[in-house]
Amino acid sequence: MAIVSSGSPAPRGRPSHEPRRPDAPPRLVDPTPVPEGVAPAREDGLRPRRLADYIGQSELKQVLAIAVEATRARQEALDHVLLYGPPGLGKTTMALVLAEELGVRCRITSAPALERPRDIVGLLVNLQPHELLFIDEIHRLNRVAEEILYPAMEDFRLDLTVGKGTTARTRSLELPPFTLVGATTRAGSLSSPLRDRFGLIQRLEFYGLDDLQAIVERAAGLLQIALEADAALEVARRCRGTPRIANRLLRRVRDVASVRGHGRIGASLVAEALSLHRVDDRGLDASDRRLLTLMLEGYGGGPVGLDTLAAGLGEDSATLEAVVEPYLLQLGFLQRTPRGRIVTPAGRRHLGWPAGAAA
Ligand code: ADE
């Protein structure tokens, strides 16, 4: 299976609709991928290649395993697949696994790279029968690209308009049967005509601790790192339910271990190494703590409006909402109420504040 990449992925650490401040430091716990060219194929060595090696997401694996087996038996292209869920949970990895299982190539692109009609047309006309076309951030496709995709997905047909004005004519071109794998963090932002053309629509869930520990142990084995089971669990606790972050944290732990000349890595070394990067025992980093601290010290724990917090932190509201808040909400450290954000008793306790105390 070959991987063919097209266009440049969105820069890391920002919501897709809003640029990150240029002076903002990169976060070790950022779930978005490092763009190719900055750290080429960093994650690739650790990606599982087959369904049997893919840990967690059991429902998704079951559904796709059946679809793959049936597709292979019928010698057809796999139905179009839409994968949705938070970043860093393995949507791209799953597309590559599907291609491997089907014995075909996967071409990778992302919607922002498909600006002009000829970008998507170029990809479609170069597909071989049964190949996969992976489009990341598919909710960001422009209307023209989306309309080119409708007949391509439904009838493997490309409708091209040739000429302009009164001389314009539509030409149809037959495409080989192929599979579109779309990935999005915002399934709700997809238009319904596009969503309806996917035969398989699957959500990726945050991973549980056991699965994360197994993912860290597998990665440690591949990187030839001697990691105790409790150390793997410690990385798992701090990775925000996200394998991509787990693998990144593991590399930082390895750095500290090799500089300190440690042999086997235990839980205390993980705690020490990750404290150095200011990632605490629940995976919160300095940005998370800054937000909670501002809310507690400046606003008695809330309620306080998003824009007020953004101004206080020198961040933009969209970044705060899309990048910082989701994990705090998931942990139950932060709540959104109609009157604004509040720090929960659990959030207070985590920062060492008495539950419910006024600032
Ligand atoms: N590395 C990243 N995600 C993984 C997964 N789901 N299973 C195994 N290894 C992984």
319 is catalytic: no
Q: Give dist(CA 253, CA 76) in Å, integer.
A: 45
Q: Give dist(CA 147, CA 164) in Å, integer.
A: 18
3-state secondary structure (DSSP) of residue 315: coil
Choosing from 71, 92, 93, 179, the catalytic residue is: 92
Q: 133 with 6: CB under 8 angstroms?
A: no
Kindly list the distances between the CA atom of residue 351 and the CA atoms of 70, 104, 292, 332, 355, in Å, as whole numbers in the listed order. Answer: 52, 50, 8, 13, 10
Query: Helix count (H) and strand count (E) of the chain?
Result: 14, 10
3-state secondary structure (DSSP) of residue 25: coil
136 is catalytic: yes
Helices (H), the chain: 58-74, 91-102, 117-125, 143-155, 192-195, 209-222, 229-238, 243-260, 267-276, 286-299, 306-313, 317-319, 325-331, 345-350
Q: What is the DSSP letter of 303?
A: -
Q: Tell me the pLDDT of the chain (359 aa) as tens digits.
A: 545 555 444 433 344 444 445 556 678 888 777 654 444 345 668 999 999 999 999 999 999 999 999 999 999 999 999 999 988 899 999 999 999 999 999 999 999 999 999 999 999 999 999 999 999 999 999 999 999 999 999 999 999 888 888 888 989 999 999 999 999 988 889 999 999 999 999 999 989 999 999 999 999 999 999 999 999 999 999 999 999 999 999 999 999 999 988 789 999 999 999 999 999 999 999 999 999 999 999 999 999 999 999 999 999 898 888 778 988 998 999 999 999 999 999 999 999 998 765 44
Residues 6 or more apart whose Cβ sits within 8 Å of residue 261? none
Q: 306 with 340: CB under 8 angstroms?
A: yes
Q: Give dist(CA 279, CA 266) in Å, integer.
A: 17
3-state secondary structure (DSSP) of residue 173: strand
Which atom of ligand 1 is nearest to 214's Cα?
A: 8
84: nearest Cα among 187, 226, 219: 187
185 is catalytic: yes
Enumerate residues lining ligand 1, CB below 6 A: 46-48, 53-56, 90, 93, 215, 218, 243
| Signed CA dihedral, 349, 355, 357, 358: sign only | positive
Choosing from 20, 109, 136, 344, the catalytic residue is: 136
Q: What is the pTM of this model?
A: 0.84
Which atom of ligand 1 is nearest to 89's Cα?
A: 3
CA of 80 to the centre of ligand 1 (A): 23
Q: Give dist(CA 334, CA 110) in Å, integer.
A: 32
